[in-house]
A and B are shown apart, each in its own frame.
Chain A
Amino acid sequence: IAGITQAPTSQILAAGRRMTLRCTQDMRHNAMYWYRQDLGLGLRLIHYSNTAGTTGKGEVPDGYSVSRANTDDFPLTLASAVPSQTSVYFCASSEGATDTQYFGPGTRLTVL
């Protein structure tokens, strides 16, 4: 069982470019999440999805969009990247709300 996979592992991106971070889980979990981790700020929730077909805004949703077309995939898109979006991005999933969240290995994104 792979758990949660994220791609790419790292990326350097020019400001203004569009970027999609991929996240796939094979645990058939209902809920999925995107967080960004910045030094001194811990993890902040960007968007989440309770179940396929539904999404919700987290603490810092501006500049990001998500979709949940099926149970396994939860891509995060930056429509027009800005340097403040330089961060480490973690995808997570859980069977339901308040259940244990399982985290992917992260994507390190640098926007220049």
Chain B
Amino acid sequence: AQSVTQLGSHVSVSEGALVLLRCNYSSSVPPYLFWYVQYPNQGLQLLLKYTSAATLVKGINGFEAEFKKSETSFHLTKPSAHMSDAAEYFCAVSDRHNFNKFYFGSGTKLNVKP
């Protein structure tokens, strides 16, 4: 089975600072990769997804992620954090044999300090 590792269960940044949330996946074949965001007491919303087109993927709310095959990474970044970015972020990968099966990381809670 695939696995996804998100380094850092909690990340804290100051408003206006760079946001970097790390995601590494285990797969010998580039799968489909996703970042989702979850606000308190809500379901998940898609931020962006990689589907083997451009390696730099732009998403909503100013977020982007870069697929690096050599590092099996798909880190999420945003140049300048906003208070409204405080949420939990999940990286996910689709199973390379069964695209219906998604494997999620354990999540990273982003705290934005004023």
Our pick among B4, B42, B51, B105 for the contact of A98 (Cβ within 8 Å) is B51
Our pick among B51, B101, B105 for the contact of A59 (Cβ within 8 Å) is B101
Write out the residue numbers on chain A whose beta carbons fall within 8 Å of the beta carbon of B101: 45, 48, 56, 58-59
A52 to B110 Cα, complex, angstroms: 38
Q: Does B83 contact A (CB under 8 A)?
A: no
Mostly, the B contact residues are loop
Q: Please provide the chain B residues from 96 to 114 with a CB less than 8 Å away from any CB of chain A in the complex.
A: 98-107
Say whether B90 contacts A42, CB under 8 Å. Answer: yes
What is the distance, in angstroms, from B20's C-beta to the closest C-beta of chain A?
A: 19
Say whether A45 contacts B44, CB under 8 Å. Answer: no
What is the distance, in angstroms, from B33's C-beta to the closest C-beta of chain A?
A: 10
A56 to B97 Cα, complex, angstroms: 13
Q: How many residues of B contact A (CB 8 A)?
A: 26
Say whether B46 contacts A40, CB under 8 Å. Answer: no
Residues 42-66 of B, flagged 1 when their CB comes within 8 A of A and 0 if not, give 1111100101000000000000000
| Chain A: CB-nearest residue to B51 | A98
Say whether A40 contacts B104, CB under 8 Å. Answer: no
Q: Does B27 contact A (CB under 8 A)?
A: no
What is the distance, in angstroms, from A81's C-beta to the closest C-beta of chain B?
A: 22
What is the distance, in angstroms, from B41's C-beta to the closest C-beta of chain A?
A: 8
Q: Does B94 contact A (CB under 8 A)?
A: yes
Our pick among A33, A35, A42, A48 for the contact of B107 (Cβ within 8 Å) is A42
Q: Which residues of A contact B (CB under 8 A)?
A: 4, 31, 33, 35, 40-45, 48, 50, 56, 58-59, 90, 92, 97-98, 100-101, 103-106
Task: Please name 20 pairs of A and B residues whose Cβ atoms are closer than 8 Å in the assembled complex, sorted by A.
Answer: A4-B43, A31-B100, A40-B106, A42-B6, A42-B90, A42-B105, A43-B44, A50-B100, A56-B98, A59-B1, A59-B103, A92-B43, A97-B94, A98-B99, A100-B49, A101-B44, A101-B102, A104-B43, A105-B43, A106-B41
